[in-house]
Copies of this chain bind each other. A is one copy, B any other.
């Protein structure tokens, strides 16, 4: 139980909510200039919007904790990531439109390169082309002859990445208490597949058999001649945004994982847009439909942050900034601009630092934040708070919750 259960009790119909999520938005001042990407970027439209909004900072999982993209987005959608846990395997499967069923065991797969001593020489097999991935998946799928009363699906994601789904006729049969076989380093063999608890014995046996047959099927291939597995998770059905918060959601995202997560929460998913204009055009075309909640996802802020490129990250933010007037023309009742976690360019990685947020609505209390950046948002009316609080604030500002008590 947490505050989101109370929101659920109070839900009524109301206005439309739009989330513009710039992945990995938060940053750290660079050692040279002391400024973050958001600080450095020319963002007249976001700054004007911040001036006319309630601002704040979101701590997505907890103090000092660096969120993965899954937990970061769950928090934004009103699901405390400590309460609702989703593995990357499940997200990846949903992201490639694989029709997961409850009880399915999903894992992320990497095609890797292994030498004759059985040691990993490249955890990503030189990022093989997607076409080769597809051919190898088919080859493995053909070769499989598992001693297992269920099914195994190996599906291409892209480049070296694929998804494994095991499905048993007994939905309780497959536990996800399994180790990752990827040692996260080269020069070592994969980690052996052994159950981490008694109830995972069946699953471990099937996975070990799968790995043996799969590796045998591609042993003569180059450079991808082995599989690494991680992020095992059983698929459990989550209560969706409609059930929890009365929101019929629409996801507009270019990257599979974000569409997968949105599907998991019962959102509809728009045709994947290619590029920033397509993202905003897609929104413009669909904002008049019967959805209550629009989730627009921008990936570039995270990728450039991961690349350590503060200038490019700033350029992506500027690209978004130029399209803000376009967004405002659609007059969403509530517009939220934020990120799912910080990805400081100076760290080239996700980080634990809170993420700036602005909430624009007719009844948003204005504050002293005059710009949209990490420091200005500290002066904001929303304060520094757990990420999963955000959806409640959006619901409130959209008039979607009735009074609590009399």
Complex: chain B residue closest to A61, CB-CB: B404
CB neighbours of A66 from chain B (8 A): 396, 401-404
- Verify A88–B405 contact, CB threshold 8 A: yes
B10 and A396 contacting across the interface, CB-CB below 8 Å: no
- Cβ B68 vs Cβ A403 within 8 A: yes
Copies in the complex: 2
Instruction: Tell me, yes or no, whether A335 is within 8 Å of chain B by CB.
Output: no
Assuming the contacts A29-B366, A347-B363, A366-B34, asked whether A405 and B85 have C-beta atoms less than 8 A apart, the reply is yes
Instruction: Please tell me if A353 contacts chain B, counting CB pairs below 8 Å.
Output: yes
Interface string of A374-404 (1 = CB under 8 A from B): 1100111101110001111111110001111
Q: A365-B353, A406-B231 are in contact. Are A389 and B88 (CB under 8 A)?
A: no
**Given A62-B3, A63-B3, A365-B29, CB of A68 within 8 Å of CB of B405:** yes
Question: How near does chain B come to A311, taking the closest CB pair, in angstroms?
Answer: 20
Query: In the bound complex, how far is the Cα of B6 from the Cα of A66, in angstroms?
Result: 11
Measured CA separation A346–B365 after assembly (Å)? 12
* Interface status of A70 (Cβ within 8 A of chain B): yes
Chain B nearest CB from A385 CB (Å) reads 7
Closest to A403 in B: B66
> Which residues in B have their C-beta under 8 angstroms from that of A338?
none
Q: Give Cα distance in the complex from A395 to B65, angstroms.
A: 9
Bound complex: CA A132 to CA B18 (Å):
51
Would you call A28 an interface residue if the criterion is a C-beta within 8 Å of the partner chain's C-beta atoms? yes
Q: Is A69 engaged at the interface, CB distance under 8 Å to the other chain?
A: yes
Q: Can you report 8 A-B residue pairs in the complex whose CB atoms are below 8 A from each other? A: A3-B82, A7-B64, A28-B363, A64-B396, A87-B406, A352-B397, A352-B401, A383-B384
Known contacts A64-B391, A375-B381; 17 further A-B pairs (Cβ under 8 A): A3-B62, A7-B65, A29-B365, A34-B366, A63-B385, A65-B404, A66-B404, A68-B403, A68-B404, A69-B406, A71-B405, A87-B406, A353-B363, A353-B365, A365-B374, A378-B379, A383-B384
Which residues does A use to contact B, with CB under 8 Å? 3, 6-7, 10, 28-29, 34, 57, 61-71, 81-82, 85-88, 91, 108, 231, 344, 346-347, 350-354, 363, 365-368, 374-375, 378-381, 383-385, 389-397, 401-406
